[in-house]
């Protein structure tokens, strides 16, 4: 027996028309997968809000020539080695470094790590991609 559950939803015509246009532009073949992704996004957002164990990536660009900055960023990362799975350093050009740090741990710790890195002078941009370990999602 399938574990799929089917349900009906009533929506205003304009809303479903807009939704269909939107998901078509995102390359969805049908509404079901688009709605599954909306539900998963909501559940992952809640995992972060409730300080559950999460996974994600910190991407930051910083000035390679600020020597103290490089040491400071490394010190911070060593303080959070329990939640850092891996990191990749890319020399973008003579001045700029791009670092991608994969993380897994309690949401609050991940956010604190990201904010400690971001607030350093010389970090030009940092974004936190809030994803999931996937354990409780289908």
Q: How many CA atoms lie within 13 A of 67 on its CB side?
A: 0
Return the SS3 of 56: strand
Minimal CB distance residue for Ni ion: 97
Q: State the DSSP code for 85.
A: E
To Ni ion, the closest distance from the beta carbon of 102 in angstroms equals 18
To Ni ion, the closest distance from the beta carbon of 61 in angstroms equals 10
Q: Which residue lies nearer to Ni ion by CB, 61 or 109?
A: 61
Q: Which residue lies nearer to Ni ion by CB, 96 or 133?
A: 96
Separation CA 47–CA 78 (nearest Å): 25
To Ni ion, the closest distance from the beta carbon of 97 in angstroms equals 3
To Ni ion, the closest distance from the beta carbon of 112 in angstroms equals 25
Q: Which residue lies nearer to Ni ion by CB, 91 or 125?
A: 91
Q: Which residue lies nearer to Ni ion by CB, 20 or 122?
A: 122
Binding site residues, Ni ion, CB under 5 A: 64, 91, 97
């Amino acid at each position: 027996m399938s574990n799929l559950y089917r349900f009906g939803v009533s929506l205003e015509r304009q809303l479903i028309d807009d939704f269909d246009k939107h998901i078509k532009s995102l390359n969805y073949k049908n509404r079901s997968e688009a709605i599954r992704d909306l539900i998963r996004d909501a559940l992952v957002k809640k995992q972060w809000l409730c300080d559950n164990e999460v996974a994600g990536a910190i991407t930051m660009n910083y000035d390679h020539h600020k020597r103290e900055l490089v040491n400071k960023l490394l010190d911070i990362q060593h303080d959070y080695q329990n939640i850092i799975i891996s990191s990749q350093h890319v020399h973008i050009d003579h001045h700029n470094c791009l670092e991608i740090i994969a993380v897994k741990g309690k949401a609050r710790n991940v956010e604190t790590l990201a904010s400690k890195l971001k607030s350093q002078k010389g970090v030009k941009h940092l974004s936190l991609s809030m994803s999931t370990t996937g354990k409780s999602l289908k």
